[in-house]
Amino acid sequence: MSVRVRRSREDVVRTAGRLFAERGYHGTSMRDLGDALGLLGSSLYAHVDGKEGLLAEVIARGAALFQALADEVAAWEDRPTEQLRRLVAGHVRIVTENLDEARVFLHETRFLSPAHRRRVVELRDRYEAAYRDALAKGVAAGVFRPGLDVPFATTVVLSILNSLERWYRPAGPKTPEDLARDLFYFVLEAIT
């Protein structure tokens, strides 16, 4: 009954993302991945260099989405509230539309080789800086609470956003747009 079709490298990476998200990197074998694609584990090596390279690619794709968001909101640096609103909305959109990559990014980065991991940690730090800068600018401009502990608030906001992958369900009561709005106002209440 298995449907035999030619598989692209894109298919391999996307399916790897799904399996790594569901079973974890170490819980997924190359034969598991082959099975999911309708081919043998050994045949995967015609598409990719190896298992770790596949993990690195899945994670790099996730990281690129968040990085693009940080770059995008940089243009709004004169309006910190709008910057924060866009960061929250963009994060929710990325996670809800790329749940597998987001999960692998958050849970499996530690299994990357040191060289790959270093690059990902660097991107994560730059992403965090986008939030910290928006909060700091908002405090300086008087639109957020004076004396706000900016590093702490940054951590809490990212805690909320990074937990989305745990509980977001497409069939849940709120659409991604609802979530973006409600999460933004929850945070805004706490920091103003």
Partner DNA sequence: CCTACCGATCGGTAGG
Residues within the interface to DNA (CB under 7 A): 5-7, 28-32, 34, 38-43, 45-47, 50-52
Is the separation of the CB atoms in 18 and 33 below 8 Å? no
Per-residue mark of binding to a second copy, 151-180 (x: CB under 8 A): -xx-xx-xxx-xxx-xx------x------
The string of DSSP codes covering 43-102 is: GGGGT-S-HHHHHHHHHHHHHHHHHHHHHHHGGGTT-HHHHHHHHHHHHHHHHHH-HHHH
Phi, psi of 100 (to 5 degrees): -65, -50
Q: How far is CA 81 from CA 13, 22, 41, 87, 157, in A?
A: 37, 36, 50, 10, 14
CB of 8 to DNA, least distance (A): 8
Compare residues 30 and 94 and give the one whose CB is closer to DNA: 30
156 binds, among DNA, a second copy, none (CB under 5 to 8 A by kind): a second copy
Q: Is 36 in the site for a second copy (CB under 8 A)?
A: no
CB of 4 to DNA, least distance (A): 7
Binding site for a second copy (CB under 8 A): 24-27, 107, 111, 149, 152-153, 155-156, 158-160, 162-164, 166-167, 174, 182-183, 186-187, 189-191
